[in-house]
Each structure stands twice: as structure tokens, then as C-alpha cells.
Amino acid sequence: MLTGKVCIVTGASRGIGKAIAQVFAQNGAVVYGTATREGSIEAWADGFDPQSGGCIRSLYFDITDEAACREAVMRVKKETGRLDGLVNNAGVEFNELIGMISREHMEKMFEVNVYGTINMLQLASRIMGRQENGGSIVNITSMTALKGNRGQMVYSATKGAVISLTRSAAKELAPKKIRVNAIAPGLTNTDMMKQADPKMLEGRIGNICMGRLAEPEDIAKACLYMISDMSSYVSGQVLAVDGCTIM
């Protein structure tokens, strides 16, 4: 589905980002996975064989650093001559009740989840806008942005901002054949989720009509659809991948 395409996936060292990078490579894409910690992508990619002609390459930088973002995106353009897809997956989450919210954590979440996403979107769209076939951008938001959740006021605010910027960018970039969509994962079986209190987790899973957590691959396959030509007339949308959750 992605043969011949070049894609960037931010936050690809583990969890959802890792699954997205793997699924894209398995479908023929040249994937540049990004992370901040040197060697964290090679830790899993060195033993990964997509068997499709696709491949995984690594980029290490902080998406809140505009100059570093520019250097990384221009490296992709220099090495491949194009950029067809971007998945803005990198994000941070601090869960704090009202009255206990840390200003430091609040600023960090907006810096990474919102400003970093805008940094990458702007740079990618400049390259895509010069290409005949444009490109596709997917921003990872969250079901908390759509439904809200106790203890996640600031996090949900940042992810709500991602939905808003997705819809505005989609309208602005459509004439350049650049599609912009968002994926809203529900509870997903990642390392972070495994550290949650089992009783709390059991109660939240009980609100999922399909009766299970999402796997990272469930989110990755939704991203695959949005990046591929199968969604060539889809833009400005928010796709919930949550197993039909009652929140």
C-alpha cells in the first residue's frame, strides 16, 4: 500500500510509533523513525525485516527544536528527493488533578504535543506542496480530547488543540493536494498502560464495548489507511480507534 513512498514517523522508539513504523515498512515505505534517545530505534529495527522492499531509518532530534526539525526534514529530502507521509505521533502525558497541576508539566505537554506537531507539519507541508501528488499528514490525538477524562485536563487540552489544528491545516493545504487527518486512539496496550493500577484498568476496559485494549497495531493500521492512496479523498477528519468506548 505504501510502495515507493517516503514517510516520517515521530516518536518511533516504542509503543504506537514503533508499530506505525513497522506497518509502514511492511507495506513498502521508506520510513524515517524519529526519537530523542540515540540508539532507541536501532534497538528494535536492527532485527526487523519488513520483507517488502521497505526499510527503517533513524533520526534523533527534539521536535520542539525548530532548527533540529528543519535539519532532519531536509536530510530526508536530500536522501530521497521527496516526502509523502508524516505521522505526528511523538507526545508526552502527565496526569494531574485540578489543583495539583504542575506548570512545568503543563508547558512540556503544550511544547511537545502542540508546538512540536506544528513544527513538523509546517516543514513537511513545504516539501509536499512542491510535489505533483502532494502528500498526507496524520496527527495522533486522543479520545480524551473528544470525551474528556478525570485527571487529564491539560493533556486533553493539548490533544484538543491537535484536532483543531488538523482541521484548519486540512482546509489550508487541500489546494496543494496535501491531506491532513487525525487518529484518536482509545486505551492502548503500551508499556505505559501496563504500569497502570490493575483495578483501575479493569474498570476502564469494562467501558470498551469490544472488551479489550487496542493494540499498537490497531492504531498503526488506521494510520496506514490515512497515509495510503486508499484515503485520497479524505481530509480534515478525526478517526476514533477505540473499540467503541463508553466514556
The angle formed by the CA atoms of residues 193, 199 and 205, to the nearest 5 degrees, is: 60
| Residue type (1 letter), 88 | N
Let me know if 155 is a catalytic residue. Answer: yes
The angle formed by the CA atoms of residues 119, 125 and 127, to the nearest 5 degrees, is: 115
- Nearest CA to 155 out of 206, 114, 198 is that of 114
Please state, in angstroms and rounded to a whole number, the distance separating the CA atoms of residues 244 and 247: 10
- CB within 8 Å of 104: residues ≥ 6 apart: none
- Nearest CA to 99 out of 150, 53, 142, 60 is that of 150
Q: Which of 32, 155, 225, 233 is catalytic?
A: 155
Q: Which residues are catalytic?
A: 155
